[in-house]
Structure formats: C-alpha cells, structure tokens
Chains A and B, each alone.
Chain A
Amino acid sequence: MIIKEKVIKYGHNVDTDVIIPARYLNTTDEKELASHCFEDLDQAFAEKLKKAKIVVAGTNFGCGSSREHAPLAIKASGVRLVVASSFARIFFRNAINIGLPLVQSSEASQETEEGDVLEVDLSGGSIKNVTRDKVYSISPLPDFIQGVIQSGGYIPYIKGQMKK
C-alpha cells in the first residue's frame, strides 16, 4: 500500500495524555475521541488535518499510558500513518493491534518538516520525501507482526489462528 500525503510535524516524547487527554476516556466512541485528538498539544490540529494526513514525530512517540484510545483517536481522526524516530512499546503494540500503520525512521523524522509531502510504500519498505527529493529505507518488521498487519489487526489475526 502506498500512502502519499502532507505532513503534520511534532517533537519528541508525544505522550498519550496529549494525544487524548484522560478527561475524554469516559467514552469508547471513536468519533468523539477523534474530535479531541492532540487537543492539548496543538489546537490547530483539526484545521491542519484538512490538508495533511501523515504525522511525523521524534523519539518515544506515544509514551505514557496504555490507553488504546490514543491510536484509535489518531486513526479515527483520518491520520493515515505515523512516522517517528522511535515508538513507546505499548503504543506500538496498540497501533499494530488496531491497524494504524506506523513507520520507524530517525532519518526521515529528522529531515522532514511540516507541510512536506511524503510517499510511503508500506510493503516495499521505503519513505520518499517528495518535497525534498530524498528516499529513506525502512527496516522490515518481524514476520509475526507483518502477519498481524496483513490480517487487518490482532483480533482478525487471532480469529484466523483459532480456526486453524
């Protein structure tokens, strides 16, 4: 799958409290969660989202709480992909489990600015910064995790396994 979109750029240690503040965790409604996504980090996020659908950030993206509401809010807001230098481990699991694509690349993260256009080939393993004419390779995920992604998330994957 190829994703080609403009970029919204954030810094290091974007935590789950700013992705979706706990005051909104009294619901599991994805649309409601999405309407508060990144609210405490960037009040202009909803406006930026009209033109940009890839979030690029620095190290330790998604650190903090285990709330799956965080990747759910990002996915339901319309963001198609998150690129970061590194991901916190619970966020990483949660995003894979619910089918929000993540790509880890320090180089791409450092050299990409807000408004740049990225073209990411999730199966081919590369990120192209169209604006700056640069290409970065992505190291492949373990086979098991690729299997989960190909199934469309952990629940469909497990259902498939249970049938075997």
Chain B
Amino acid sequence: MPQNNSQTIAQKILAAHCGRDYVSEGEIVNAGLDIVLGNDITMPLAIQEFKKIGAEKVFDSERVVIVPDHFTPNKDIKSAQQSQLVREFASAFHIKNYFEVGKMGIEHALLPEQGLVGAGDLIIGADSHTCTYGALGAASTGVGSTDLAVAMATGKLWFRVPSSIKFVYEGKPQPWITGKDLILHTIGMIGVDGALYQSMEFRGPVIGQLSMDSRFTMSNMAIEAGGKFGIIEADKVTEQYLSQRAQRPYRVYKSDADASYDQVYRIDCSKIGLQVATPHLPSNAKPAEKLSHIGIDQVVIGSCTNGRMEDLAVSASILKGQKVKEGLRVIVIPATQEIYLEAMQKGYLKTFVEAGCVVSTPTCGPCLGGHMGILAEGEKALSTTNRNFVGRMGHPKSEVYLCGPAVAAASAVTGHIAIPQEVMDDY
C-alpha cells in the first residue's frame, strides 16, 4: 500500500468486493458481483458458454437479471428463436428477475426502476451501456457473453482497477439543458477514447442539482468516451430515489478528498448550449443552433439514454398543441411499462399522438438498427439515442444525429434541426 492510501470511489467499491481495504490502480482483482445482467442478444452466446463450463446452477437465481429488450417484441423468426432459448434458460435456472414482454422495459431504465441496483454495488452486464448504474453511485460496466457466462456460474469476474478522471460541472446551465447536453459536450471535449479503460467521475454543483433521469443519461454514455465506469457519488437525490425503490440494502462510498486523478476537468455549464453530435461519432458535438440547415427524415425519442419520464415530459411540453412537420416520421418509445403508464396518465402520450408521433412499446429497436424505425439509403435521423456510427440505425449510407429531448421535439415540429425557442412563443 502506498504512503497515501486515499482511494477513488471506483477503487473503494472494487476493494470492498474482493474483501480488501485497498486496491491499487492497474492491479487485476477477482471481485464478487451484486448483479449480473444479460439480454436477448448477448444471452444466447452466454448460454452456450455457460453450458461449456458445466455449471449446474447459477451462482444466485435472484442476482442474475435477464431482460429481452433488443429485438422484442420479436421482429423475425430468428430473433424469436433466440428469445425462446433465453426464456427456456430463465425457466430452467429459476431466474427470478426475468422480464417477459409485458413486464419488460429497456434494461438500463428497468433495473434502477425495479430497485435491483443500488449505491456501492459492483455490477456487470453483457451490454455496453451497463455503465448507466454509475448514476446511483455503483461501479457498473459492460462485458461480453463469455464474461457473462463465467459471472453467472461463479458470481465473480476479473477487473483491472481503473484510474479515474474527474469532471467538475459548475456555473448556471442555460434553459432546456439536460444531462444529454452535458455528456455530449464532455465526449466532444475528450473524444471517443478520451476515457479509455478509465473511471469517469461526474461531480460539482450542477450535478448536485441534476435529476436522477439526467444523471442516468450521463453515466449511460461514459462508454462513448471509452470509459469503464461513469460514477456519480450518491447524494440526497440518489438516496431519495433509492429509498422508494431499492430491494436490497445499499452502501454509499465517496472518493477521498486527496484521491489521485489522471485529469481534472472543470466545465463551465453556462457556456454549454443545446448539443447535437453529427455523424459518425458521438464526439462530434456541436451547438444545435448551428445545424439548422440539416433537414431530417425521422426523429426518435427513447432508448436507455433518453426514454425516461424527464425526457417524455420535456418532449411533451414542446409538442403540446404542435404538429409534426409534414413528411417527417417521429417515433416515441417510453423505456419501461411504468414510464409508459405514467406518461399516459399525465397526458403525454395523447400529446404525442395528437401531434402526429407514433408511440411504441418499450424496445431498444431503432437505436441499434434492429427494428421499429430502420433508415433507408440517404436518410437522416435525429435521435435521443447514444451512437451515430455508420449504419447504426439502418442503411450504411444513412445518418444519425444525436441530441437530447428538447432538440428532438423542437425539430419534430420544424423538420430540420431546431432548438425549442424556434417553435415556442413563451418558453
């Protein structure tokens, strides 16, 4: 142990999960897991590998969570076969937290909502956006199917203890700014590999004021900068959220004041306007108002990044009494059944349908070019999702622009990239 034994939150959580007081950056540890997650895309391969291990049971039938959310409700025969395989596995191994269509939501919105993840947890999921749970003060990261198989069998996995980057958000944010604008700006600043293998720590007065939904959005996109974790220390906002939902006791860890960081960035949020990331990298962040010349064919409001209540509330406040631009398709996807129901009760779904949007059942669908809104050659989509790689939403010659809910809803009215001020008289 070095003279200065102060640690970051990432170190503390990893240390606690391998029964130690201290772990060093760069060392490889074998740590116990609180939650292990798979979906309809990654589980079929994991099941193959799980069978090769020869395990007779999963390490804990309550801590393996399976959410068929990508190609569901199933889009074709092959994906139906895959879902069937996953369903049979869930049944055979008595998986308590298997979420069938009807209960299913987009996994990274669903797990926090169901109280399955909490502060201080160590979580892996065979989905890259598993880093979302960092918003609750957890160490949580994406892995592949073989790692998932080993984790399901043993309840443990190896980790290289990451170094950390600190991002301090200060200043008074401009109107309509949500977590999406902050994280797109941040990725634009450091690049798509700016936090490769590192833990991103989001802090500062602006984060303290941020809603849980916006925090989930920020942690969700840590992977788009190559990050291993995207952690926000638990505070009153987190504790209030967890007090209503957490199914297990949780523990709040905080980075030591003198913990070491590879870099510290101070970000003046008063200077960040609404952001759009242009094709084909999430790091191509630009001010939305400078892109009003970009006409669009489709808008998507949804995904594990921006399919939560705050996103639907912001979108509905802009679309209320407005009409979708003639010739434009607007797809709204509430991320879970609970969000769907609440949006219905609050009248948001009525607002969307009256404006001319289509409202879908929860699914990852169009975000990864799966189904429910695939793009043709040459088409452009503006989307609240997380990736704009070549071919991400359909044809390899289609394009995806990434934004938050305010820009998506305003652009739904104008048919080109727009900010809310362009379509609202009294914002």
Q: Are A23 and B48 in contact (CB under 8 A)?
A: no
| Interface size of A in residues (CB-CB distance below 8 Å) | 42
Complex Cα distance A158/B52, Å?
Answer: 10
Q: Are A64 and B389 in contact (CB under 8 A)?
A: yes
Complex Cα distance A89/B142, Å?
Answer: 9
Complex Cα distance A109/B390, Å?
Answer: 23
Q: Are B146 and A68 in contact (CB under 8 A)?
A: yes
Q: Does A123 contact B (CB under 8 A)?
A: no
Q: Does A77 contact B (CB under 8 A)?
A: no
Q: Does A127 contact B (CB under 8 A)?
A: no
Q: Does B396 contact A (CB under 8 A)?
A: yes
Q: What A residues does B53 contact at CB under 8 A?
A: 155, 158-159, 162
CB closest residue in chain B, given A156: B52
Least CB distance from A89 to B in Å reads: 5
Complex Cα distance A93/B41, Å?
Answer: 18
Q: Are A154 and B147 in contact (CB under 8 A)?
A: yes
CB closest residue in chain B, given A87: B196
Complex Cα distance A18/B389, Å?
Answer: 8
Complex Cα distance A162/B155, Å?
Answer: 13
Q: Does A97 contact B (CB under 8 A)?
A: yes
Q: Are A67 and B150 in contact (CB under 8 A)?
A: no
Q: Are A63 and B193 in contact (CB under 8 A)?
A: yes
* A94-152 with Cβ < 8 A to chain B: 94, 97-98, 142, 144-145
Of A2-10, A24-32, A46-54, the segment with at least 4 beta carbons within 8 Å of chain B is A24-32
Q: Are B196 and A89 in contact (CB under 8 A)?
A: yes
Q: What A residues does B44 contact at CB under 8 A?
A: 28
Q: Does A88 contact B (CB under 8 A)?
A: yes
Q: Are A155 and B143 in contact (CB under 8 A)?
A: no
Q: Does B82 contact A (CB under 8 A)?
A: yes
Complex Cα distance A54/B44, Å?
Answer: 29
Q: What A residues does B389 contact at CB under 8 A?
A: 15, 17-18, 64
Interface string of A26-67 (1 = CB under 8 A from B): 111000000000011100000000000000000110011111
CB closest residue in chain B, given A154: B146
Q: What B residues does A13 contact at CB under 8 A?
A: 192-193, 281
Q: What B residues does A23 contact at CB under 8 A?
A: 369-370
Q: Are A66 and B144 in contact (CB under 8 A)?
A: yes
Complex Cα distance A94/B71, Å?
Answer: 22
User: A88 touches which one: B42, B52, B79, B193 (CB < 8 A)?
Assistant: B193
Once A18-B390, A40-B391, A155-B149 are accepted as A-B contacts, the answer to whether A66 and B193 lie under 8 Å apart by CB is no
CB closest residue in chain A, given B47: A28
Complex Cα distance A158/B153, Å?
Answer: 10
What's the count of A-B pairs with C-beta under 8 Å? 134
Q: Does B233 contact A (CB under 8 A)?
A: no
Q: What A residues does B54 contact at CB under 8 A?
A: 159
Complex Cα distance A67/B370, Å?
Answer: 14
Complex Cα distance A89/B147, Å?
Answer: 13
Complex Cα distance A64/B3, Å?
Answer: 38
Once A15-B389, A26-B79, A90-B142 are accepted as A-B contacts, the answer to whether A65 and B193 lie under 8 Å apart by CB is no
Q: Are A144 and B145 in contact (CB under 8 A)?
A: no
Q: Are B127 and A155 in contact (CB under 8 A)?
A: no
Q: Does B93 contact A (CB under 8 A)?
A: no
Q: Does B337 contact A (CB under 8 A)?
A: no
Least CB distance from A39 to B in Å reads: 8
Q: Are B128 and A90 in contact (CB under 8 A)?
A: yes
Complex Cα distance A72/B396, Å?
Answer: 21
Q: What B residues does A71 contact at CB under 8 A?
A: 144
Which among A68, A142, A153, A162 has the greatest number of chain B C-beta atoms within 10 A? A68
Complex Cα distance A60/B196, Å?
Answer: 8
Q: Are A93 and B147 in contact (CB under 8 A)?
A: yes
Q: Does B197 contact A (CB under 8 A)?
A: yes
Interface string of B41-71 (1 = CB under 8 A from A): 1101100110011100000000000000011
Complex Cα distance A28/B396, Å?
Answer: 22
User: B390 touches which one: A28, A41, A154 (CB < 8 A)?
Assistant: A41
Once A66-B144, A98-B146 are accepted as A-B contacts, the answer to whether A22 and B369 lie under 8 Å apart by CB is yes
Q: What A residues does B226 contact at CB under 8 A?
A: 60, 63, 88-89
Q: What B residues does A158 contact at CB under 8 A?
A: 53, 150, 153-154
Q: Does B265 contact A (CB under 8 A)?
A: no
Q: Are A97 and B153 in contact (CB under 8 A)?
A: no
Q: Does B28 contact A (CB under 8 A)?
A: yes
Contacts A18-B389, A66-B128, A66-B130 supplied; 9 other A-B pairs, CB < 8 Å: A22-B70, A22-B392, A23-B370, A26-B76, A60-B192, A68-B126, A89-B196, A94-B145, A155-B149
Could you jot down 17 A-B contacts, CB within 8 Å?
A: A17-B368, A17-B391, A17-B392, A21-B391, A22-B369, A25-B70, A26-B71, A39-B396, A59-B193, A60-B193, A67-B144, A88-B193, A88-B196, A93-B147, A97-B144, A154-B150, A159-B54
- A-B pairs with the 8 shortest C-beta distances? A94-B144, A68-B144, A26-B78, A97-B146, A60-B193, A40-B396, A22-B368, A40-B391
Binding site for B on A (CB under 8 A): 13, 15, 17-18, 21-23, 25-28, 39-41, 59-60, 63-69, 71-72, 86, 88-90, 93-94, 97-98, 142, 144-145, 153-155, 158-159, 162
